Structure 1
Amino acid sequence: MLNRVVLVGRLTRDPELRYTPNGQAVANFTLAVDRPFTNQQGTREADFLNCVVWRRQAENVANFLKKGSLAGVDGRIQSRSYDNQEGRRVYITEVVAESVQFLEPKSAKTGGENQGQGNQYGGGYGDDPYASSAPPQNQGSSYGGGNNQGRSNQNQRQDDPFADEGQPIDISDDDLPF
């Protein structure tokens, strides 16, 4: 039997960090994950998945991720139930994260207040709430800060992120994923 989940999405709110009575950290957050297809109106929908992470990873998530942050989650699906105050049985299905990867550098500006624009689940680029997380191309940046001079159209998407037109590539340590 196999129970494995791999997700990439943006946090819909800041993670909520709590501690159990015996001192174990637990963080809850919701991840908005785009569906790979569009609906009948031609817009892309998203699923909002509840995630829980434990121990040191929970503290890291609470300290370094915020609403709009891009994150990767590797874990498993778990179902549980309890009786609420009215005596009704409540069922909860959530992703128990075994690993959470921070997919943007700490200095990345996500969220509507930093970009001057945003979407309904707290980050991204452009007016489309289901747009991809690619940065807008009119910012004049090439991957890693290469020289953009001599391009006929700054808004044209660069297909090869490693094309540097023979110029040195300026990369800071913050740009490296390791």
Structure 2
Amino acid sequence: MTNLVILVGRISRDPETRSTQGGSSITTINVVTDRPARNKEGKTYKDENGYTVKDAEFHRVTCFNGLGANVAKYCKKGQLVSVEGRLHYSSWEDQDGVKRYGCEIYADKVDFHTKPRSGENEDAPPIDED
């Protein structure tokens, strides 16, 4: 059995980092991917300019410790990244006692495919452009 997720998309907002009581670092990013939209018949369709209409999907990605520190330091909104990890499901009760459910990706690896905009994180490691 395997629980494996691979995403390639853009970071939709700057990373957010927090620390646990035990001192572990947790960084969260949201990665947006898109796919062709489908009509009622299940077929893709084009807009008035001739482009295929897309549906965006937002994925919450959680990075721990060293990986989280690197993502927090080198990633910014708009950057193209690939993420490898696994799905993690959770449930909790909100303040009104309603049972809530969530799904996120626990990242094992995050590769940077573009650098942030000019002037930001110029000390970032080089990107392999092969």
TM-score, structure 2 length as denominator?
0.78
Is 1:31 matched with 2:31?
yes
CA displacement at 1:66 relative to structure 2: 0.9
Relative contact order: is structure 1 or structure 2 higher (C-alpha 8 Å, sep ≥ 6)?
2
Is 1:102 matched with 2:112?
yes
What do residues 57-115 of structure 1 show as CA deviations (whole Å, max 9, x unaligned)? 101111111111111100001101111111111101011111111111x3x538xxxxx
* Letter of the structure 2 residue corresponding to residue 61 of structure 1: V
What do residues 140-168 of structure 1 show as CA deviations (whole Å, max 9, x unaligned)? xxxxxxxxxxxxxxxxxxxxxxxxxxxxx
SS of 1:63 mapped into structure 2: helix
Give the structure 1 partner of residue 15 of structure 2.
15
Is 1:76 matched with 2:74?
no
Cα–Cα, structure 1 residues 90 and 175, in superposed 2: closer, same or farther, change >3 Å? closer
Give the structure 2 partner of residue 61 of structure 1.
71
Unaligned 5+ segments in structure 2 are 40-44, 47-52, 119-125
What do residues 22-64 of structure 1 show as CA deviations (whole Å, max 9, x unaligned)? 11000111100121x2444521112111111101110111111
Alignment RMSD, CA only?
Answer: 2.1
Distance in 2 of aligned mates of 1:48 and 1:21: 28
CA displacement at 1:175 relative to structure 2: 6.4
Give the structure 1 partner of residue 49 of structure 2.
none
Moved over 2 A (4+): 37-42, 174-178
Unaligned 5+ segments in structure 1 are 111-173
Give the structure 2 partner of residue 85 of structure 1.
95
SS of 1:59 mapped into structure 2: helix
User: Which is greater in Rg?
Assistant: 1
TM-score, structure 1 length as denominator?
0.58
Is the 8 Å Cα contact of residues 13 and 76 (structure 2) preserved in structure 1? Answer: yes
Is the 8 Å Cα contact of residues 113 and 127 (structure 2) preserved in structure 1? Answer: no
- How many residue pairs match? The answer is 113
* Letter of the structure 2 residue corresponding to residue 88 of structure 1: V
Higher strand proportion (structure 1 or 2) = 2
